[in-house]
Structure 1
Amino acid sequence: MNPLSAEPLEIFVLIIWASIFLFLAFKFIQAICLVPTQSAYVVERLGKYKCTLEAGFHVLLPFIDRVAFIQDLKEETIDVPPQECFSMDEVNVEVDGVIYIQITDPLKASYGITDYRFAAMQLAQTTTRSVIGTLELDRTFEERDIISAKVVEVLDKAGEAWGVRVHRYEIKNITPPLTVKNAMELQVTAERERRAILAKSLGDKASRINRSEGQMTEMINISEGEKQRQINSAEGKAEEIIAIAKATGESIRRIAQSIEQPGGEEALNMQLSEQYLDKLKGLSRKDRKIILPNNLLDFNQWINTLGLDKK
Structure 2
Amino acid sequence: MATENQSTITEFILLGLTDNPNMQLWLFQVFSLVYMTTLAGNILLLVAVRTDNHLHNPMYLFLTNLSFLDICYTSIIVPKMLLNIALSAKNISYTGCVLQVYFYLFMGETECILLAFMAYDRYVAICNPLRYNVIMNIVSCTRMIFFSWMAGCSIASFDIYFICHLKFCGHITINHFFCEAPSLLQVSCGDITVNNIITLVGGSILLLIPLCLILFSYIQIFLVIVKLPSGQYKAFSTCISHLIVVTIFYGTAIFMYMRPRNSDTEVTDKIVSVFYTIVTPMLNPLIYSLRNKDVQKAIGHLGRLTIVLR
- Larger proportion of helix: 2
Q: Which has the higher contact order (CA 8 A, sep 6+)?
A: 2
Give me the TM-score of the superposition, normalised by structure 2. Answer: 0.20
Give me the TM-score of the superposition, normalised by structure 1. Answer: 0.20
Structure number, greater radius of gyration: 1
